[in-house]
Chain A
Amino acid sequence: MNDKPIVVEDLVKYYDGRCVLDGVSLEVPRGCIYGLLGRNGSGKTTMIRILLGLEPPTRGRTLVLGEDSMRLSARAHGRVGYVAEGHNLIQSYRVGRLISLCKGLSLQWNGEFFGRLVETFRLPMDRRVRELSAGMRAELNLALAMAIDPELLILDDPTLGLDTVARRQFLELAIDVIQRQGRTILFSSHILGDVERIADRVGILVAGKIVVDCTLEELKDRVKKLRVIFPERAPEDLYITEIINQQNQGREMVLTVANWNRQKQTILETFRPESCTELPMTLEDIFIECTRPASAPVLQESEV
């Protein structure tokens, strides 16, 4: 098995002169649940499609299970399960026929497990795919991806359209997959609560680059949101590097900083603040801070 099932090296992608990915590099180690985050249009789906060989990259390269994405062998494809955004299935097929097709084209098929999933999701065999609800299509897509017992599972917003119960079931399934030794998951989602619950590592795409690529604990440890009160008006420039966000209101400053360390602490103390309080942040809070454009106003809690 490959130590790094996913390797992205300086990936650049243009769509008709518009840059979407601008030199993205990351590695997903084996056995990891990697949460890929970003705002709408940040390039998550593009990167995933390039990984699977559905899109050619403009520059750079991507490796999946040690093979170049643009020349993935059938065997490598067979070891990757994929749930696409929008659940790309053949709409005119009946569910039963689609299952037979996927089963016929798989390297291995876990019929018992698939059967349990079908029962759990209550998928009708004789209905056409286009007649299913969005949630049922998602469940079908997920079941088909899991049934091949994949070594690598790539999920592009897999819980889109799922109700709460189904979402919980999916998360449990994902954990179930990862518990099999050596399995890896790359998934992107807008429901950060789910990501926070199961991801080991997160990556955040901003302006075509990976600005965050670390474990969840490390992220929470290194990104700090501080509320600082100064004796007089809060200074405009603190001479601290890697400020993610800074909001001044009179004597009060709310500061979000990346890679908070002793040196930055020392610099802050030179301004002799009256108080400095760390505000706890969830993953969602960190994500909003990281992806907010610099010029965008911050809604204060009192204004929400």
Chain B
Amino acid sequence: MKARRYSSALNVLATGLLVLLVTLLVLFWARWGCESARHGLLPRQAWSLSVDASSLIMPRTVQEPNGIPCTVHAEMAWEEIDVAALGATQYQESQRLDAPDSPVYAWSTDETGVRLYYDRSLGMVVYSCTVGQSKPDGTVLLKKTIAYAGPEGIADRPDEKLGRFRDPVVRLIAGNLDRPIVYDRVLRQFFAIDGPGKAVKQGPPWPANFVGPVDFGWPRKQPRYLNLYLDTLEPHYTYGTDPDRALVLDATGYIQMLDLNTLGYVGSVGRLPVPDSLFASVRRVAPDDLFAFEVMPVFLGRGDLYAGCAVAVLSRDATSMKLEVFDPNGIRVAMQQTGFSDHVPMGSGRSGQLSMVRALYFKLPGAAALTATKFILESLHPPVLLWLSYFTASRVEATAGHRSLFVLPNSFAAMKGRDAESWWLGRFVGALPFLLPGVVVGIVLSRLVGRDARRKGLPTRARRLRMAATVLFTLPAYVTYQITRPTTARVTCQNCGRDRWVDRETCHHCGSPWLVSELIPPTWRVIGQPEEQTCNDPSPRPEETISNA
């Protein structure tokens, strides 16, 4: 009996898990369709920004007293953004050779070509190439060179004395293969590998409270979907990287300047702008809070004069974009964010400037319906997961949030959870309109489950467990109950007249045992005692013994 109960409980749990997965998948794709439709409400031109950056260049040239026109543009790959967020796309992107976390920095499919990569098994950055040496007789001798670089130095062979990089981020500043810069997230130090000089320079060790870099050189996230470029007529002005300096974006969203000779910071030159959001009260953003960003440094001349940087960001839910330009001292000199220009219609013949987010959620034709649909879909999500989304709102990385099945970092509740302006109680109260509908649905379904369970005669403990599960998980729990509830036949109880289960010894309504037989057997019996009678057990006949195989 106990074994039967355990296996029945296992069956309920297994069924519940299956139903939960199926429900969450269906809800996910419904929400995804909603978000895709929302992005489709706007034309392509709405997803590009341009800002005048002439102030970065004008005062610095003496040859051009009237300055050189210079514009910074940011564009979002509007039609690809919804597919971009899916796990399959993200996984494919992350495995490309040129992905930010790729261990390969240069790779020639020809073994004689240049290869620069991080070998995890050795913990070293490996450089290999084939160099041709001309001989006196005119022939060319191909010589393969391999170098192994660790935190402590470079050698021709992997050596323990070279140390091990644990979790490196490697960048080729100015495309210089001979001088990769390494930041090790475990060792918390910068390293500069000098290939020709066969030396590794170590930067100063950072203190324990130091906020480590997320990226450096030309910090970018999701570069295929957010494109930042500078438009100027003067080719002498370049933008890109300087062999002696690099921008560093840290985990709090600040942009620092790194001196590649000393491998130390020399000053703050900007920060990630805060894009518009539905509850526009977040004061600052970290790289993890953004779906995409790009930090583009601007250098003048041959790259030895830092003129400032342009930063573009795409919000967590990809509904707003912002572009800011900073001067060399880190002061913002220009800003623009997505909105509407006059010629973009907004329904009812009106046009004008509007917050992009508000327009996408409320004002544009069809936006309100999509918002209502999003609200309904989130209310159908299991309340326990929706409440978890509220409490973990800031902890989920932005792109991961788009492929999340269980918690909803882009839900209204989570958006409210990231509201930094209110006190925690005010924030919670503000989120209740988004959190409570799911609970109400759960309570309604739970009452239905309880009523049916009582009718079916489920034990009190089981009934309460089912009801509690329905409050916490609503739809999946309700469907699970319908699938796994007992289906044993019932007959009329002779005592109370109500339906009773045939597999119970007593009636679950009145407690009566089985008083009257379902069938009417005869009153007589002919029952012998087994012990009194002996069955025939003749000894085996010798001629018929059977041999076993």
Enumerate chain A interface residues (CB-CB to B < 8 A). 12, 14-17, 19, 22-23, 27, 29, 31-33, 58-59, 70-71, 108-114, 149, 176, 178-181, 200-201, 206-215, 218-219, 222-223, 241-244, 258-259, 290, 294
Report the count of interface residues on B (CB-CB < 8 A): 37
Complex Cα–Cα for A201 and B489 (A): 34
| 5 pairs, CB–CB < 8 Å, chain A vs chain B | A112-B547, A181-B540, A208-B521, A218-B528, A219-B526
- In the assembly, what is the distance between CA of A304 and CA of B540, in Å? 45
Q: Give the docked Cα–Cα distance between A100 and B299 (Å).
A: 83
User: Binary interface profile of B, 519-539, with partner A (CB < 8 Å = 1, else 0)?
Assistant: 111111111101001011111
Once the chains are docked, how many angstroms separate the CA of A71 from the CA of B2?
Answer: 12
Beta-carbon contacts under 8 Å, B456-502 to A: 488-491, 502
A29–B530 CB distance below 8 A: yes
CB distance from B490 to the nearest CB of A (A): 7
Evaluate contact between B540 and A180: CB separation under 8 angstroms.
yes
Within 8 A of A (CB), among B503-549: 503-505, 514, 517-528, 530, 533, 535-541, 544, 546-549
* Chain A residues with CB under 8 A of B491: 14, 17, 19
- Compute how far the CA of A15 lies from the CA of B524 in the bound complex, rounded to whole angstroms: 26
User: Are A22 and B519 also in contact (CB < 8 A) when A17-B491, A58-B503, A200-B535 are?
Assistant: yes
Q: Which residues of A contact B538 (CB under 8 A)?
A: 179
With both chains docked as a complex, state the minimum distance between the C-beta of B442 and any C-beta of chain A, in angstroms: 34
Q: Which residues of B contact A33 (CB under 8 A)?
A: 535-536
Q: Is the CB of A211 within 8 A of B520?
A: no
The residues in B between 408 and 427 inclusive whose CB is less than 8 angstroms from any CB of A are: none
Report yes or no: B502 in contact with A214, Cβ–Cβ below 8 A. no
Query: Out of B519, B523, B540, B548, which one reaches A19, CB within 8 Å?
Result: B519
Interface of A is mostly: mixed
CB distance from A17 to the nearest CB of B (A): 4
B62 within 8 A of A: no
Is B3 part of the contact surface with A, judged by Cβ < 8 Å?
yes
B524 and A59 contacting across the interface, CB-CB below 8 Å? no
B521 and A209: CB pair below 8 A? yes
B interface residues, Cβ below 8 angstroms from A? 3-4, 488-491, 502-505, 514, 517-528, 530, 533, 535-541, 544, 546-549
Question: CB distance B546 to A110 under 8 Å?
Answer: yes
Query: Do A207 and B521 have beta carbons less than 8 Å apart?
Result: yes
Pick the residue among A58, A114, A223 that contacts B502 (CB under 8 A). A58
Find chain B residues with CB under 8 A from A242 CB. Answer: 523-525
By a CB distance below 8 angstroms, the chain B residues around A200 are 533, 535-536
Nearest 8 CB-CB pairs, A to B? A214-B528, A19-B518, A111-B549, A242-B524, A207-B521, A32-B535, A207-B519, A258-B524
Query: Is B541 in contact with A179, judged by CB distance below 8 angstroms?
Result: yes
Complex contacts, A215 vs chain B, CB 8 Å: 528, 533, 535
Name the distance in Å between B147's Cβ and chain A's nearest Cβ.
63
Q: Which of B489, B535, B546 contacts A31 (CB 8 A)?
A: B535
Indicate whether A180 sits within 8 Å of B546 (C-beta atoms), given known contacts A19-B519, A214-B526, A214-B527: yes
Q: Which residues of A contact B541 (CB under 8 A)?
A: 179
Contacts of A181 in B (CB 8 A): 537, 539-540
Please, which residues of chain A bring their CB within 8 A of the CB of B549? 108-114
B502 A208 Cβ-Cβ under 8 A: no
B234 to chain A, nearest CB (A): 84
Question: Pick the contact of B521 from A12, A22, A213, A222 — CB < 8 Å?
Answer: A22
A209 touches B524 (CB 8 A): no
Instruction: List, in ascending order, chain A residues with CB within 8 A of B536's CB.
Output: 31, 33, 178, 200
B489, B521, B535, B544: most-surrounded residue (chain A CB, <10 A)? B535
Q: Whose C-beta in chain A lies nearest to the C-beta of B490?
A: A17
Asked if residues A243 and B535 are in contact (CB atoms below 8 Å), the reply is no
Please pick, from B505, B526, B537, the residue contacting A223 in the complex, using a CB distance under 8 A: B526
Residues of chain B contacted by A108 (CB below 8 angstroms): 548-549
Please tell me if the beta carbons of B521 and A211 are within 8 angstroms of each other in the complex.
yes
Q: Which among B521, B528, B537, B544 is the interface contact of A176 at CB below 8 angstroms?
A: B544
Given contacts A179-B541, A258-B524, 6 further A-B contacts (CB under 8 A): A29-B530, A179-B540, A181-B540, A214-B526, A242-B523, A294-B522
Output the nearest chain A residue to B518 by Cβ-Cβ distance. A19
Q: With A and B bound together, what is the CA distance between A87 and B374 in angstroms?
A: 60
Q: With contacts A59-B505, A207-B521, A208-B519 known, is A213 near B535, CB below 8 A?
A: no
Q: How far is the CA of A241 from the CA of B177 in the complex (A)?
A: 110
Across the interface, which residues of B come within 8 angstroms of A23, CB to CB?
Answer: 514, 517
Q: In the complex, what's the smallest C-beta–C-beta distance from A32 to chain B, in angstroms?
A: 4
Complex alpha-carbon distance, A110 and B522, angstroms: 45
Alpha-carbon distance A29/B530, docked complex (angstroms): 7
**A263→B539 CA distance, assembly (Å):** 41
* A247 vs B520: C-alpha distance when bound (angstroms): 21
Q: How far is the CB of A222 from chain B (nearest CB, A)?
A: 5
Q: Tell whether, in the assembled complex, residue A209 and residue B490 are in contact, meaning their CB atoms are under 8 Å apart.
A: no
Q: Among the listed B505, B522, B548, which residue makes an inter-chain contact with A211, where contact means beta carbons less than 8 Å apart?
A: B522
Q: Are B524's CB and A22's CB within 8 A?
A: no
Given the interface pairs A212-B526, A258-B525, the reply to whether A218 lies near B518 with Cβ below 8 Å is no
